[in-house]
Structure 1
Amino acid sequence: MKISIDISSDKIRIFGLDHPIFLERTGVDVELGKVLVNLDKEKNLTEILVLNGPGGFTNLRVGCLALNLLKTLKKGQLSFFSLSKIELYQHFYRKAWISRYGAIYIGQKSNVRLRDFEENKPISSVKKDQLSALSSEYKGLFVDQVYERDYFDEALPSLDYTFEQQGLSLHFKGETYHLPRADFAPQEVEMLHPNYMIEPNVN
């Protein structure tokens, strides 16, 4: 069975099942491995698409570790495809589904990363409570997909997307868009490495 997993947000989310599975960051180092092993026993996982960074360091580190361990337990009989949020949002932008500027979740309580998707480069780290004021400077500023709805100011437009077997659906500003998997062409990798995109603070 093919599934997708988002390890880049405030919760880990597993797509491709009858009902999505959410795992809180607290305790995820214990729970994720158990969930993956049980899913494999029930569904015989053969392929996993991983939304891999940027995001919270804990979810990225634990997610990659647990997935790599599952592949080892399956003696390599599992394919990984890795895709970053930045790559995915570039596809959205090129199709004119989202605006030029976005605030990207990086796993910090107060800080987010502003990004220019037209120039495809970071702008700066900012306090998330500054975003409403910055929206006049950065026209159409949107915020990243997170699962705790009070993380961002609800007045700002937010991304909401769901992975499916053949691609994904994006809901944004009252519109729904469908992106076939062939269009975003995730990279097949032998093993997963956390795509932090900024250096974690290990102190």
Structure 2
Amino acid sequence: MLFLNISLPQIILEINGETKIIENKKTEETIPKILFEYFEKYNFKNITIINGPGSFTALRIGSLSINILNFLKNYNLNLFSIDKITLYKYLFEKNFLPGKGIIYIGQKKKALLYDFENDFSENIFIDNLEQKNLFTDFGLNSKNINILKINLQNQKLNINFENNNILVSPKEITKPEKTIQPNYLIQPNISYPSN
């Protein structure tokens, strides 16, 4: 199984203990190339993807690359797609995560503060954030907030938080899809030149 997280400031591809971390600045040229190289090397049939929210470019290029690969393979790949908010709600309901988290949404100075207990969210500025009893999925300059980490172990998502681990099968939280739809929390602002 290939694991692909396109929802963070750095894109993560992982298979058979081999991990590639890609900077968002090189997304367009790197993700398709590595994805096809991994397929040639490992001939995987299953892909688990965390598809947002996150950077517009990473979500667009990551989902498009997987959809093209699946098309070229006559839709014979099993694509397991989940968005971070759904995954984190699941982990909160399993008593693995605290009730509030700061979620990367693809912006440099803003993030999403999500209250899983009350199913409420708000955009916040991340400068000087010092709340306690929170988690985040990206690096913040705060000693009070713990970072959630996700990788692949034995064909399952290995989720680490505060030195605790939980293994989650993609089949527990999602079902196979034919195509991946990026999960944009903030809709892209695309403008066209006027005539």
Taking structure 1 as the reference length, the TM-score comes to: 0.86
Closer, same or farther: CA 195–176 of 1 in aligned 2, 3 Å: same
Query: Counterpart of 2:176?
Result: 188
What amino acid maps onto 1:61 in structure 2?
Answer: R
Closer, same or farther: CA 167–120 of 1 in aligned 2, 3 Å: farther
Taking structure 2 as the reference length, the TM-score comes to: 0.90
Query: Counterpart of 1:165?
Result: 154
Query: Counterpart of 2:134?
Result: 141
Q: Would the aligned equivalents of 2:81 and 2:180 in 1 still touch at CA under 8 Å? A: yes
Matches within 5 A, 1:9-48: 9-48=8-47
- Once the 2 structures are TM-superposed, how far is the Cα of residue 43 of structure 1 from its aligned partner? 1.0
Task: Give me the whole-angstrom Cα distance separating, in 1, the residues matched to 2:68 and 2:141.
Answer: 37
Query: Counterpart of 2:78?
Result: 79
1:27-48: per-residue Cα shift (whole Å, max 9, x none)?
2111111111111111112110
Root-mean-square deviation (CA, aligned residues, Å) is 1.7
Query: Counterpart of 1:63?
Result: 62
What amino acid maps onto 2:109 in structure 1?
Answer: S
1:55-111: per-residue Cα shift (whole Å, max 9, x none)?
111110110111111112222221211111111111211121211111110111100
What amino acid maps onto 2:125 in structure 1?
Answer: K
Q: How many residues align?
A: 190
Moved over 4 A (4+): none
- Once the 2 structures are TM-superposed, how far is the Cα of residue 183 of structure 1 from its aligned partner? 7.1
Task: Give me the whole-angstrom Cα distance separating, in 2, the residues matched to 1:202 and 1:187.
Answer: 31
Identity rate of aligned residues, in percent?
A: 31
Q: Would the aligned equivalents of 1:83 and 1:187 in 2 still touch at CA under 8 Å? A: no
Task: Give me the whole-angstrom Cα distance separating, in 1, the residues matched to 2:38 and 2:150.
Answer: 23
Give ranges in structure 2 of 5+ residues lacking alignment: none
- Once the 2 structures are TM-superposed, how far is the Cα of residue 182 of structure 1 from its aligned partner? 6.1
